[in-house]
Amino acid sequence: MKKTVTTLADGRELLYYDSRDDVVRDAVDRRPLDPVATSSEIRRDPLLGDSIAIASHRQGRTYHPPADECPLCPSREGRLSEIPDDNYDVAVFENRFPSLAGDAGRCEVVCFTSDHDASFADLTEEQAGLVLEAWTDRTAELAELPQVKQVFCFENRGAEIGVTLGHPHGQIYGYPFVTPRTELMFRSMAAHRAETGGNLFDDVVAREEADGSRVVLAGEHWIAFVPYAAHWPYEVHLHPRRRVPDLRELDDAARVEFPQVYLELLRRFDRIFGPGEPQTPYISAWHQAPFGVPGREDFGLHLELFTIRRTPGKLKFLAGSESGMNVFINDVPPETAAQRLREVASE
């Protein structure tokens, strides 16, 4: 992998990740951009203890532009975009409309491919492996920023999820705090250790593999299963068999196998609801250990992949119980979801 670091016209950082070492990235951003002005503010909810990002400047962000005005495509034929070069493998840049900025954290955009009409599932194993290297590199660099306490790499796909740019891309958030969901996991880890003496992540993976009814894919270095208490109609958790706290500590064998397993999962997601159905909307989320907290080495890196579609043409809405009380009601038994995901294996 070759990494090239440059800046955009307004001073934001842009990074190219290339599979070839001889690629030269010297294109200049020729747009007349004003400096980025953000108003990110973190406020603490006194009742729940949650941290909320207030970011009013995001109201003016780019919203469903036509394909020929996509800001994530390469700059070509006089059309200037966020990527000054006329091609790229993987590109990462500071978000122009960040939810978190300055002392309140950092937000980056990850463009998986220059092909506007592709999706992550269309990538080759080599391309998917390069994205993994980019995620890992960004985790390592953001970990060095004093204001960043946790790095979150994720992808939103589909208009149903709320995606406003159709180009295949994801995001990386560098939070200035430990997220509420991760805090809950740490509490569960501590309670499990006190009760059993074991590691929660190791024991969950072992239980799912021993049961087998919810396992979707099992490789030599990764295992994917629908969790016993899945929140979403179709939800898969992907764990490395060798537990590590974050992407930086994956070994070479796990890195090599990851694209095979992950691409297969994504392609199965697109088959869940049968032929003729539009692409399955999903959220793909890496859970990594926060930095500088007790017990981080006991945390288990894993990826959670889920869709809000529950059946053809119908979505799972977060209504009263879910939104009001955070009690999920799942219409699809996890065992049924796992069986369906096994049935739609790629040929």
Rounded to an integer, what is the distance from CA 129 to the centroid of its chain?
15
The residues with which 239 forms a beta bridge, in sequence order, are 223
- Tokens 């796992």 label which residue? 338
Nearest Cα residue to 110 out of 86, 76, 136, 85: 136
Alpha-carbon span 316 to 323, nearest angstrom: 12
Cβ partners under 8 Å of residue 3, min gap 6: 15, 16, 17, 18, 137
Label residues 211-243 b or e (16+ Cβ within 10 Å = b).
Answer: eeebbbbebebbbbbbbeebbbbbbbbbbbbeb
Nearest Cα residue to 301 out of 107, 92, 153, 80: 153
Alpha-carbon span 176 to 179, nearest angstrom: 9
Q: Work out the angle at residue 341's Cα, subtended by the Cα atoms of residues 339 and 346, and round it to the nearest 5 degrees.
A: 130
From the candidates 167, 169, 239, 287, which is the catalytic residue?
169
Rounded to an integer, what is the distance from CA 320 to the centroid of its chain?
27
From residue 179, alpha-carbon distances to 104, 152, 174, 343 in Å are 13, 10, 11, 35
- Tokens 């599979």 label which residue? 19
**Is 221 noted as a catalytic residue in this protein?**
no
Alpha-carbon span 117 to 113, nearest angstrom: 10
Catalytic residues: 169
